[in-house]
Structure 1
Amino acid sequence: MMDSVINKLRNTVTTVTSTVSQLSVVLPGNPVTREFEIEHHIASAGPGLLWKIYSGYKKSTRQEAAVFIFEKKALDKWSRKNRDVMIELLKKGVFQLTKLKHPRILTVQHPLEESRDSLAFATEPIFSSLANVLGYNDNAPQPMNDAVKNYKLHEIEIKYGLLQMCEALKFLHNDAKILHGNICPESIVINQQGSWKIFGLDFSLQNGAPVSEPKPSWTCKEYDVDAHPITQPHLDYLAPEYSDLHCCAGSDMFSLGMLAYAIFNEGKPLVLSGGNWHSHRQNFSTIRTLSEGSLFCIPNEMRSFEKKLLDYLPNNRPDTHQFLKLEFFHDEGVKTLEYLDSLFQWDNLQKSKFYKGLYEILPKLPQRVRVHRVVPCLAQEFVNPTMVPFVLPNVLKIAEGSSNEEYVQHILPHLRVVMKLREPVQVLLIFMKYMELLLQKTPADITKSDVLPLIYGSLESDSIQVQELCLSIIPSFASLIDYTAMKNSLFPRIRKLCITTQSLSVRVNCILCIGKILEHLDKWLVLDFVLPFLLEIPSREPAVIMGIVGIYKLTVSHRKLGVTKEIIATKILPFLFPLCIESGLTLIQFTTIMNFIHELITCVETEHKAKLEQVGALGKEQIKPEAIMSSDFGGTGSFDAIFGSAAPAENGTNYKVNNTTVGNAKPNSVLPPMQAAKSTSAEANRQINPSAPKDLTSSLLNSNMQQMQKSFSLEGMQQQRTPSSIAGQTPFAPMYGSNPPTFQRMPSSVSIPNSMQAGLTGNQFNPLPMPGTAGPMKLSGFQNVVPNQQKSSNSFMNFSDIQGSDSSVKKLSQKDIDDFLS
């Protein structure tokens, strides 16, 4: 892709460089170059297509122009006589052309200038010559530009072109008293608007009749067979009477008939002479015996008339008046083009009627005719504001069928002038109807500078009709407006209009407009600007209220906007409740609002309830380690329930451990001691040896367990206990036999040594009462803490199994145990 762009740029630069280099050689010192800037070689015209045509512009005014250049070196191979004759013919043709002023004659902007190497003059802008369009490309740019190469004449263009040539001949014959003498494709040019114009007057003949004689007469020269063919009229289009040295107005009509045949026959003339006079005379027999059947390429409606034009006898040929009256040239399309060319002669009333009818005719015209022929004529009326409302719809209708390139190059420059108008008000109305088209085809920079101000101007207009129309069509092209313009320019104007207007219909339309463009806004624009704006609307008419409710419904239900329950609860509901009791509401309107309020309340309730449930579920899943330990050991009460339930108090009386009352265990209310111990041990082990990295709680737990092991040295006292043997045994039966000593219940106000509290602080554990510190105590609270020496599937977890414990502690002797229990 990039290579093709670079190659195209290189070719363009090469072409321009070549053109500049050629002109620097061809036009040294030619006065034309002082006033006109020459750009591109576009076409060729004149006898033998010797004139090269360049596009350009006048330096002082930047007005477009065409510069015709004849390079004298093109005749270097000719004899001196023929070269001099040819140069004089070319100069004569331009001098004659400069004198004539008529819409069908090419307009000269700068007269002929001659230098040592060239002839040059400037005219109105040119598209091409008719010869180039028909495929004759001598001295044309190579390769031929695509616009000319692909140019195919439509029937309406041929009809109107021939009609224009006839009008030109009528002017020459009747007013200027000039016989053209060389009507052929080389002597006709097509301007940028598509009009055909007479150019080559090189072989024209002046009136030789006396001034007193009203009827002109012309004397033709004898054909010089020794001269170069280009110095003679084109033989393929020359009337037979020239061979008899007789010519008249009918001679030009014969040439016009031959031109029509060549155009309808794709550029091929009826007879071919090849520049040979003798061949030309031999073709007379074909002309004499010409029948309508041989004119197969001519449309049926014109065929009989064409045969008359090509009659061998000049007196039998129709004149220009008869040609112009031919019905074939007066169909709807041709009449339209004729009217466009004569508009400057009409008053405003006549023009307005024509423009109204033109809107229906435009679709029947070829697009090229509409763009290049109709638009320039219509654009001339843009200087008259009164006529703009009649002209503008037609121009925009043409823009609909135009390509973006055609629109930007040929239509938009005219429209930009009208876009600045604010009066008459119909101009804004018309632009609003075509706003989507304008936004689609207009470049972004011009859209920002010229098109969007049309919308802003319509919203700020004093006409309610314009405001309502603008508001009604904004949603149709809202997607084409960029976010910045929407936020900073368009929405603020709609808001201001809605708040300040005295018209209820305008206010309602503002609300409806905003509701329709919500889908083109983002969430933050709606939350920050739209919803607060609804609170500022000053009136509370039912239509306004229902419009507001409609916007709220859209914002709540729209997936992209996603209004949260917080906004619903804090902003929307408090605003809606007062609205529902406005006295002007009907029952249906009230019911609608209340149903919507109920929906909002349900929405808030559902969402917030779901949130709370989710938060609760997450809280259960994310229990802290200290909560797990507190749950496992049950605090003080659970600790006693696990470690003390194996030896219930006598007569079912309650007792206290650390100020916590523990009553008789109900059946199935507490796990059996063994199972409870196993469960507690497993939970403790999971807390002590977590899969995740150690935290402060785990370290503290390990430290507490180590201190308990070292303090009690209970490893030697481990016994295997099964759930079935726990209920009827005392804790220390293996040591004392069947008559264990009796211990008194521990006072409820027992004090705990500071050394023990130091290892078991916090919420993880309640401190255990130590023996020997507060008198005799019952050991049922420690039964389940004693580890078993023999491990089994139902055994307790040994303290030595706990990570970080010291398994090398010395075992207690019997004497130590007796001392410990005394």
Structure 2
Amino acid sequence: MFSSALKSFSSNISANYQISPQPAVISGPWKVHDGKKKSTGTSASIFIFDKKSLESRPSGLGGRSSSSAKKLHEDVVERLKREAGSLTRLRHPSVLQVLEPVEETRGGGLMFVTEQITTSLARLLQEKDAQESNSRLGSRPSRYMVEEPDGTRRRRDLEIDELEIQKGLLQVAKGLEFLHESAGLVHGNLNPEAIFINAKSDWKISGLGFAGPPNSTDSRSSLPPLALSEVLYQDPRLPPSVQLNLDYTSPDFALDSNVTTSADLFSLGIIIVALYNSPHVSPLQAHSNLNSYRKLLSSPSTTPSQGNNFLCSGTIPKELITHVLPRLITRRPAQRLNAREFQQSQYFDNILVSTIRFLESLPAKNQNEKSQFMRGLQRVISEFPVSVLERKVLGILLDELKDRELLPLILQNIFAILQRIPNARRTLPEKVIPRIKELFPTDKAAVHERDSKKDAGLMVVLEHMKTVADNCSGKELKEDILPLIRLGLDSPTHSLVDGAIKCLPVILPILDFSTVKNDVFPPIASTFSRTNSLAIKVRCLEAFTALCGGSLNEGGPVEDDLSGLVQKGNSQPIRSSILDKYTIQEKLVPSLKAIKTKEPAVMMAALHVFQQIGTIADTEFLALEVLPILWNFSLGPLLNLHQFGEFMNLIKSISLKIEREQRKKLQELSSGTDSSGFQNGAGSSSKIPNSLTQSNVDSTRDNFERLVLGRGPDASSSKDTDPWSSMLSEEASAQKQSPAAFSWSTNVAASAGRGNAPSGASSLSMRSITPDYNLHSFPSLEPTARQRSSPRPPSPPCKQHHLILGMRQAIRIARILCLVHP
């Protein structure tokens, strides 16, 4: 439906602008739609007048087809066209700015484009009345609900703050001063419908359809004089929105038929009363009837005056009711204030209004005045209403960011405002971040020149990273803010590097793992490796601590949580965004190993990093890589006793962890081999009692000594004291019946002979110990050659046989001694 309706308004504007389907504001005969220019994306407001709105009203003189009604409609269209043309020609901060001049549409309507507006003063007062009415009735209509950034909904606050009223009236007065003194015009129909409020909360004058030169001067204006006899007559064939609003008209028009500039000041006084009235309407209700209007002014009880509180049911500020309104709402034009005098009244004599006035004239001030103002602004920001800060003050400060000399001061004020306003989560990404990105380009093609003011501005941004992070999403932080931090890390200015690293505790909880690994860690590692500043090295080590899951503030007491690692009492829990094990072992630890300086501050900061590494790295890596580095650092000549003790505590803790893990691993392996029946001497040796094992060791030591010293064996003593004697005698008797054979022989007879031995001797003779070459033990004997072709020599005499047995036993004893006493 809307697309078909737009076809009737086909014009150059509709081709170049995106227009919202529904009007945002209806003011007088104009429907104001939100729009956006297709080529630039600039927000704007499109004013559309549909001629059919005039034809829809029935007339009592022959209907819509009568020639008089047609002529009347043409006059209205011509007046509206003249209104848009006047706005285009008149350029002033307090006059609505036209972006695209008026165009006629196919259906005979009109269309023009202005700066973006949010509402009109009339619409604002109507919404305020509706909200107050519904509050009394207990209802909560949805159009008065707004959604907070956290998803909650609250009632929209339509309270018109006193400062906003002061600021708005001051702007309207400036606009009237321009019309009266520069343009030589009388507005003629000043009322809330003719005042618009833009996105910056500025009040703008519009509705110049009845504007014309005053009667008392010879004006060279291109506009025709205002024909009061025509405009005062309310034609029932036309809607009231295209006719003069008698409720705000001056008695100069209605009673004296005199067009004067002071008539606009009377209308301004009635608007002031309406702002404080309840409901917010004019105290003069003429109901579009000139006779009713004249009757109201003929009686003191129905004429607004100081005696009857100007017929206002609300409370009017004392300065207005005593000094301003009596000189605006007065019968005689000569007694009224003019626009310039109104701006100088006591009503505007306060610090906040003066601050707004200075802000509006800031481009005309010199550099010294601007600098003093920006320093003092921080002290009064807390006194401003948040609505004025967000819509007015913030916008002016953003526009002034182009001044490099004032950049740090302006940014400090901007962040002070963001900390106060409740909509900072929407304002920061939409308004502030785009301007900051323009100031600090981060693309590789940008040429980065050393600029002290620019560096100071970036430092302000880094110092307020907490405010930025609290009001940004993770995506915005990664794409828009992280490059600024990288810019600080890459800067040759140490203070910027330090400020960038201090931002890590704020941004790490928001960023994901891949961003931390690929975008955060590399620039910090690069800065750490190239810097010669001890302070920056310490700051980078603190950053490594945070990247490994710790805290930048590692100053708490040392505690041992029995996990094998010394940790700080105030360290943060490990987060999902910390570095992975591979990056820590392959990239971080080599960087720490390459530290050359032995300064205690650097060593202790590295100690805190290793405390976190100990909770993540593998046990083998800790033993082979980390512990040697810690020993190297701990022996630094500049460490004091307490610092050395902290290193020793960490070394001991990591060592205990390694020992605990290794014991656990060996126990698991041992339990697995026992259950599978693995036989390597361990099973048989476990069956030998401890007393027997110890006596065997002692007796074999004595036999070995007698052997090497050439002493003869003592049979009686060996039988009594050597538990091996019985076994040796049994083995000797067996050897008398069979040829001599070594344990590695494959002689069948020897095997059979051993098979007939007692079970105890058999179990002991089968015991063997795996040689350990690392312990310099005797290697197992191997025959040099096997003489399979020649017969085995006869058995040696008994003495030689005992000698061979002794040598074999000596070898076994030596192996045991090497194991027991390594």
Could you report, residue by residue, the CA deviation over 1:532-577 in whole angstroms, capped at 9, with x for unpaired residues? 2210223222222222223223333xxxx34444233212222222
In the alignment, is the contact (CA less than 8 A) between 2:116 and 2:199 conserved in 1? Answer: yes
How far apart, in 2, do the equivalents of 1:62 and 1:479 lie?
Answer: 34
Query: Would you say 1:413 and 2:434 are equivalent positions?
Result: yes
Change (3 A) 1:496 1:547: same
Match runs of 1:718-797 below 5 Å: none
Cα distance, 1:661 vs structure 2 = 7.6
In the alignment, is the contact (CA less than 8 A) between 2:172 and 2:205 conserved in 1? Answer: yes
Match of 2:85 in 1: 95
Q: Of 43, 47, 67, which residue of structure 1 is paired with 2:24?
A: 43
Could you report, residue by residue, the CA deviation over 1:379-424 in whole angstroms, capped at 9, with x for unpaired residues? 2223333332221222233333334233322333222212327632
Change (3 A) 1:370 1:130: same
Match of 2:603 in 1: 545
In the alignment, is the contact (CA less than 8 A) between 1:291 and 1:307 conserved in 2? Answer: no
Could you report, residue by residue, the CA deviation over 1:302-337 in whole angstroms, capped at 9, with x for unpaired residues? 222224322233333322233212232243332232
Cα distance, 1:53 vs structure 2 = 1.1
Give the AA of the match of 2:34: S
In the alignment, is the contact (CA less than 8 A) between 1:396 and 1:434 conserved in 2? Answer: yes
In the alignment, is the contact (CA less than 8 A) between 2:35 and 2:45 conserved in 1? Answer: yes
Cα distance, 1:165 vs structure 2 = 0.9
Match of 1:269 in 2: 282
Q: Of 189, 207, 210, which residue of structure 2 is paired with 1:203?
A: 210
In the alignment, is the contact (CA less than 8 A) between 2:122 and 2:192 conserved in 1? Answer: yes
Change (3 A) 1:24 1:143: farther
Give the AA of the match of 2:621: I
Query: Would you say 1:494 and 2:527 are equivalent positions?
Result: no
Q: Identity rate of aligned residues, in percent?
A: 26
How far apart, in 2, do the equivalents of 1:625 and 1:514 lie?
Answer: 51
Cα distance, 1:345 vs structure 2 = 1.0
Match of 1:56 in 2: 35
Match of 1:248 in 2: 260
Query: Would you say 1:366 and 2:378 are equivalent positions?
Result: no
How far apart, in 2, do the equivalents of 1:471 and 1:633 lie?
Answer: 65
Match of 1:671 in 2: none
How far apart, in 2, do the equivalents of 1:433 and 1:766 lie?
Answer: 92
Query: Would you say 1:597 and 2:651 are equivalent positions?
Result: yes
Match of 1:584 in 2: 638
Cα RMSD after superposing both structures: 4.2
Could you report, residue by residue, the CA deviation over 1:324-353 in whole angstroms, capped at 9, with x for unpaired residues? 122322433322322222111122222222
How far apart, in 2, do the equivalents of 1:472 and 1:114 lie?
Answer: 60
In the alignment, is the contact (CA less than 8 A) between 2:474 and 2:510 conserved in 1? Answer: no
How far apart, in 2, do the equivalents of 1:412 and 1:101 lie?
Answer: 30
Cα distance, 1:63 vs structure 2 = 3.3
Q: Of 53, 56, 64, which residue of structure 2 is paired with 1:74?
A: 53
Change (3 A) 1:462 1:748: same
Q: Unaligned 5+ residue runs, structure 2?
A: 60-68, 129-140, 147-154, 443-447, 550-574, 689-718, 720-724, 740-750, 759-822
Which secondary structure state, in structure 2, belongs to the residue aligned with residue 193 of structure 1?
A: coil
Match runs of 1:434-445 below 5 Å: 434-445=464-475
Match runs of 1:286-685 below 5 Å: 286-287=302-303, 291=307, 293=309, 294-295=311-312, 296-304=314-322, 305-400=324-419, 401=421, 402-420=423-441, 423=451, 424-519=454-549, 520=575, 521-524=578-581, 525-556=583-614, 561-609=615-663, 611-613=665-667, 615-616=669-670, 619-620=673-674, 623=677
Give the AA of the match of 2:196: V
Change (3 A) 1:545 1:96: closer
Which secondary structure state, in structure 2, belongs to the residue aligned with residue 205 of structure 1?
A: coil
Q: Unaligned 5+ residue runs, structure 1?
A: 1-17, 635-653, 655-659, 666-744, 752-762, 770-776, 779-822
Change (3 A) 1:512 1:327: same
How far apart, in 2, do the equivalents of 1:629 and 1:321 lie?
Answer: 112
How far apart, in 1, do the equivalents of 2:219 and 2:356 lie?
Answer: 38
How far apart, in 2, do the equivalents of 1:472 and 1:193 lie?
Answer: 35
Change (3 A) 1:242 1:594: same
In the alignment, is the contact (CA less than 8 A) between 1:580 and 1:594 conserved in 2? Answer: yes
How far apart, in 2, do the equivalents of 1:238 and 1:317 lie?
Answer: 15
In the alignment, is the contact (CA less than 8 A) between 1:287 and 1:310 conserved in 2? Answer: no
How many residue pairs get matched? 635
Give the AA of the match of 2:397: L
Match of 1:224 in 2: 233
Change (3 A) 1:237 1:112: same
Change (3 A) 1:663 1:136: closer
Change (3 A) 1:527 1:766: farther
How far apart, in 2, do the equivalents of 1:487 and 1:598 lie?
Answer: 30
Change (3 A) 1:209 1:268: closer
Change (3 A) 1:747 1:545: closer
Change (3 A) 1:237 1:136: farther
Change (3 A) 1:117 1:628: same
How far apart, in 1, do the equivalents of 2:616 and 2:43 lie?
Answer: 58
How far apart, in 2, do the equivalents of 1:213 and 1:77 lie?
Answer: 38
Cα distance, 1:212 vs structure 2 = 9.7
Could you report, residue by residue, the CA deviation over 1:112-143 in whole angstroms, capped at 9, with x for unpaired residues? 22234311122222222222222279xxxx99
Which secondary structure state, in structure 2, belongs to the residue aligned with residue 41 of structure 1?
A: coil
Which secondary structure state, in structure 2, belongs to the residue aligned with residue 461 of structure 1?
A: coil
Give the AA of the match of 1:347: N
Change (3 A) 1:397 1:121: same
Greater CA radius of gyration, 1 or 2? Answer: 1
Change (3 A) 1:310 1:526: same
Q: Of 156, 164, 167, which residue of structure 2 is paired with 1:157?
A: 164
Change (3 A) 1:113 1:550: closer
In the alignment, is the contact (CA less than 8 A) between 2:215 and 2:258 conserved in 1? Answer: no
In the alignment, is the contact (CA less than 8 A) between 2:428 and 2:468 conserved in 1? Answer: no
How far apart, in 2, do the equivalents of 1:577 and 1:746 lie?
Answer: 61
How far apart, in 2, do the equivalents of 1:233 and 1:378 lie?
Answer: 39
In the alignment, is the contact (CA less than 8 A) between 2:32 and 2:46 conserved in 1? Answer: yes
Match of 1:685 in 2: none
Give the AA of the match of 1:328: Y
In the alignment, is the contact (CA less than 8 A) between 2:185 and 2:213 conserved in 1? Answer: yes
Which secondary structure state, in structure 1, belongs to the residue aligned with residue 20 of structure 2?
A: strand
In the alignment, is the contact (CA less than 8 A) between 1:45 and 1:131 conserved in 2? Answer: no
Change (3 A) 1:748 1:323: farther
Q: Of 234, 250, 255, which residue of structure 1 is paired with 2:245?
A: 234
In the alignment, is the contact (CA less than 8 A) between 2:94 and 2:175 conserved in 1? Answer: yes
Query: Would you say 1:21 and 2:33 are equivalent positions?
Result: no
In the alignment, is the contact (CA less than 8 A) between 2:462 and 2:485 conserved in 1? Answer: yes
Change (3 A) 1:362 1:21: farther
How far apart, in 1, do the equivalents of 2:646 and 2:680 lie?
Answer: 54
Which secondary structure state, in structure 1, belongs to the residue aligned with residue 514 of structure 2?
A: helix
In the alignment, is the contact (CA less than 8 A) between 2:374 and 2:409 conserved in 1? Answer: yes
How far apart, in 2, do the equivalents of 1:746 and 1:548 lie?
Answer: 71
How far apart, in 1, do the equivalents of 2:626 and 2:353 lie?
Answer: 65
Deviates more, 1:610-619 or 1:115-124: 610-619
Give the AA of the match of 1:509: R
Q: Of 113, 127, 130, which residue of structure 1 is paired with 2:103?
A: 113
In the alignment, is the contact (CA less than 8 A) between 2:474 and 2:511 conserved in 1? Answer: no
Give the AA of the match of 2:342: F
How far apart, in 2, do the equivalents of 1:749 and 1:496 lie?
Answer: 83
Which secondary structure state, in structure 2, belongs to the residue aligned with residue 202 of structure 1?
A: helix
Which secondary structure state, in structure 2, belongs to the residue aligned with residue 608 of structure 1?
A: helix
In the alignment, is the contact (CA less than 8 A) between 1:389 and 1:426 conserved in 2? Answer: yes
